């Protein structure tokens, strides 16, 4: 830091220059975030000074957070579910497993395990490291869903939790939560559902809406991220519990604060996220989200049609607004990579797309090209992307 301060114009010139280097969302098909709704951004700015780590100093903002949690609970079939606004899916998943471990009674951490599908987000690796417990990864079925029989075979007396995913990061698949819920009840095990992505999509789908939330007996907690398909500002996550007693083990005494106990992972935490999430949920209502999801699903289908014409087949029929495609097999002699690679070259295509200023990602198993059709991926964006992909291929 320099001795003398700079003037505002100079600072904002520097900031704008830096911001110009960022990729505009209109070129991004790899992200699960999008530009926040203007009303969320406005509410965020209005509440920027608030700290929900000390809620009795901010009772108005704390009340907004409670209303926000109630709206999320209502969406997840349990309006009275306790919870709080987190910084996102990672914090929610860590806190859910922390609650599972703490509510399990006496746990031998060296032996304790959590059973997750192979498709689970890497935040569960972080949780397992932090909590000193093992992750047991259950293989998926042919449609890349968690296989309840495989999960059942991994349960033992040291299992503290099961995890199901409603909207997997790579393929947007929804696990059979009803069956996994039965397993949780039969084995008397905590069940956390990671709906960080799908929580703001599944309830608004036209037609088939797989059951994934508190409607399913056996579900103990749910992660749902307003900063993904909820159109709120970053950082906004949601963590909800079926019951107060599942959240209580997280209570830590915080004597120097006005509230005495804290159940969040972060200490100081912004009320701006709660205000932004409240504002956008109130503004859009269920109808607004239905329209957004309908548009994303239409554009996902358009993407599948256009890419099929280019010879790219989807790995699974998209369930949500995420599509992954097998790369076309490379013809011998036509590519710079290993000759005649029958698997195609998703990484190579991804890199060549960067030359056209398009950003997609790749999946691991199977290795495929992955695209997330967020609200900023409009019909025009899909068509322009497909035209450039044709050149790349
Ligand atoms: C299913 C799922 N869970 C959790 C997370 C982690 O969310 P965050 O990056 O907001 O911490 C992600 C992120 O993409 C996700 O897709």
Specify the pLDDT at position 341. Answer: 44
Ligand 1, residue 168: give the atom nearest the CA: 1
Q: What is the pLDDT of residues 62-85, one digit of tens each?
A: 999 999 999 999 999 999 999 999
Whether 88 and 152 map to the same domain: the answer is yes
| Domain coverage including residue 223 | 38-282
Specify the pLDDT at position 199. Answer: 98
Mean of the pLDDT values across residues 264-284? Answer: 97
DSSP state at residue 57:
G
Whether 72 and 201 map to the same domain: the answer is yes
Distance CA 240, CA 255 (A): 25
Q: What is the pTM of this model?
A: 0.96
| CATH, residue 153 | 3.40.640.10
Whether 254 and 329 map to the same domain: the answer is no
Q: How far is the CA of 234 from the centre of ligand 1 (A)?
A: 12
Q: How confident is the model at residue 54 (pLDDT cuts 50, 70, 90)?
A: very high
Specify the pLDDT at position 352. Answer: 96
Whether 325 and 197 map to the same domain: the answer is no
Peptide bond into 235 cis (omega under 30): yes
Residue 204 included in any domain? yes
DSSP, residue by residue, 5-47: ---HHHHHHHHHHHHHTSPPGGGBSS-S--PPPHHHHHHHHHT
Q: Which one of 282, 311, 338 terminates a domain?
A: 282
| Whether the CB of 263 sits within 6 Å of ligand 1 | no
Whether 204 and 327 map to the same domain: the answer is no
Q: What is the pLDDT of residues 107-126, one digit of tens each?
A: 888 899 999 999 999 999 99
Counting every residue, how long is the chain?
393
Nearest Cα residue to 198 out of 181, 177, 179: 177
| CATH, residue 309 | 3.90.1150.10
Mean pLDDT of the chain: 95
DSSP state at residue 328:
P
Residue 5 included in any domain? no
Distance CA 282, CA 288 (A): 10
Q: Which one of 225, 248, 282 terminates a domain?
A: 282
Neighbours of 208 (CB within 10 A): 8
Whether 69 and 212 map to the same domain: the answer is yes
Ligand 1, residue 195: give the atom nearest the CA: 1
Mean of the pLDDT values across residues 6-28? Answer: 97
Nearest Cα residue to 219 out of 248, 246, 201, 251: 246
Atom 4 of ligand 1, residue of closest alpha carbon: 89
Q: What is the pLDDT of residues 296-319, one digit of tens each?
A: 999 999 999 999 999 999 999 999
Whether 289 contacts 204, CB under 8 Å: yes
Q: What is the pLDDT of residues 55-64, one digit of tens each?
A: 999 999 999 9
| Whether the CB of 192 sits within 6 Å of ligand 1 | no
With a pLDDT cut of 90, the percent of the chain lying above it is 90
| Whether the CB of 175 sits within 6 Å of ligand 1 | no
Whether 97 and 115 map to the same domain: the answer is yes
Q: What is the pLDDT of residues 125-148, one digit of tens each?
A: 999 999 999 999 999 999 999 999
Specify the pLDDT at position 128. Answer: 97
Residue 15 included in any domain? no
Q: How far is the CA of 292 from the centre of ligand 1 (A)?
A: 20
| Whether the CB of 196 sits within 6 Å of ligand 1 | yes
3-state secondary structure of 81: coil
Residue 9 included in any domain? no
Q: What is the pLDDT of residues 178-203, one digit of tens each?
A: 999 999 999 999 999 999 999 999 99
Q: Which one of 256, 282, 308 terminates a domain?
A: 282
Q: How confident is the model at residue 257 (pLDDT cuts 50, 70, 90)?
A: confident
Q: How far is the CA of 33 from the centre of ligand 1 (A)?
A: 10
Q: How many domains does the chain have?
A: 2
Whether 224 and 290 map to the same domain: the answer is no
Q: What is the pLDDT of residues 167-177, one digit of tens each?
A: 999 999 999 99
Q: What is the pLDDT of residues 317-342, one digit of tens each?
A: 999 999 999 998 865 444 443 333 45
Residue 17 included in any domain? no
pLDDT over 50 at 264, yes or no: yes
Specify the pLDDT at position 333. Answer: 44
Specify the pLDDT at position 330. Answer: 65
| Whether the CB of 170 sits within 6 Å of ligand 1 | no
Distance CA 282, CA 24 (A): 27
| Whether the CB of 179 sits within 6 Å of ligand 1 | no
Whether 156 and 270 map to the same domain: the answer is yes
Q: How far is the CA of 352 from the centre of ligand 1 (A)?
A: 27
Classify residue 20 as exposed, middle or buried by CB count within 10 Å of its CB (0-12, 13-18, 19+): exposed
* Residue 233 falls in which region: left (phi positive, over 0), alpha (psi -120 to 50) or beta: beta
Residue 167 included in any domain? yes
| Whether the CB of 265 sits within 6 Å of ligand 1 | no
């Amino acid at each position: 830091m320099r001795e003398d301060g700079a003037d505002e114009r100079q600072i904002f010139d520097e900031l704008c220059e830096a911001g110009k280097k960022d990729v505009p969302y209109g070129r991004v098909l790899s992200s699960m975030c999008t530009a926040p709704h203007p009303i969320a951004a406005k509410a965020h700015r209005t509440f920027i000074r608030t700290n929900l780590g000390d809620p009795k100093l901010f009772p108005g903002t704390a009340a907004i957070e409670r209303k926000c949690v109630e709206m999320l609970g209502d969406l997840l079939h349990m309006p009275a579910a306790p919870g709080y606004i987190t910084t996102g899916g990672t914090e929610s998943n860590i806190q859910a497993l922390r609650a599972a471990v703490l509510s399990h009674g006496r746990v031998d951490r060296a032996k304790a395990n959590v059973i997750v599908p192979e498709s689970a987000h890497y935040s569960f690796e972080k949780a397992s490291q932090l909590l000193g417990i093992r992750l047991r990864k259950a293989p998926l079925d042919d449609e890349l869903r968690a296989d309840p029989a495989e999960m059942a075979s991994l349960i033992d007396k040291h299992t503290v939790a099961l995890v199901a995913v409603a909207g997997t990061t790579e393929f947007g698949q929804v696990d059979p939560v009803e069956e996994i819920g039965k397993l949780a009840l039969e084995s008397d095990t905590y069940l956390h559902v990671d709906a960080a992505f799908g929580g703001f999509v599944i309830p608004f789908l036209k037609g088939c809406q797989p059951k994934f939330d508190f409607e399913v007996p056996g579900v103990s907690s749910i992660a749902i991220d307003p900063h993904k398909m909820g159109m709120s500002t970053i950082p906004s996550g949601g963590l909800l519990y079926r019951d107060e007693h599942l959240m209580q083990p997280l209570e830590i005494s915080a004597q120097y604060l006005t509230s005495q106990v804290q159940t969040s992972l972060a200490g100081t935490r912004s009320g701006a996220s709660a205000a932004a999430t409240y504002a956008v949920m109130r503004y859009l209502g269920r109808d607004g989200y239905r329209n957004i999801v309908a548009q994303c699903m239409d554009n996902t289908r358009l993407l599948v049609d256009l890419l099929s014409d280019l010879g790219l087949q989807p790995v699974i029929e998209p369930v949500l607004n995420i599509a992954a495609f097998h790369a076309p097999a490379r013809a011998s002699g036509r590519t710079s990579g290993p000759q005649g690679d029958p698997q195609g070259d998703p990484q190579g295509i991804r890199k060549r797309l960067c030359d056209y200023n398009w950003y997609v990602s790749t999946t691991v198993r199977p290795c495929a090209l992955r695209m997330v059709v967020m609200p900023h991926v409009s019909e025009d964006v899909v068509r322009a992307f497909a035209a450039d992909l044709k050149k790349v291929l």
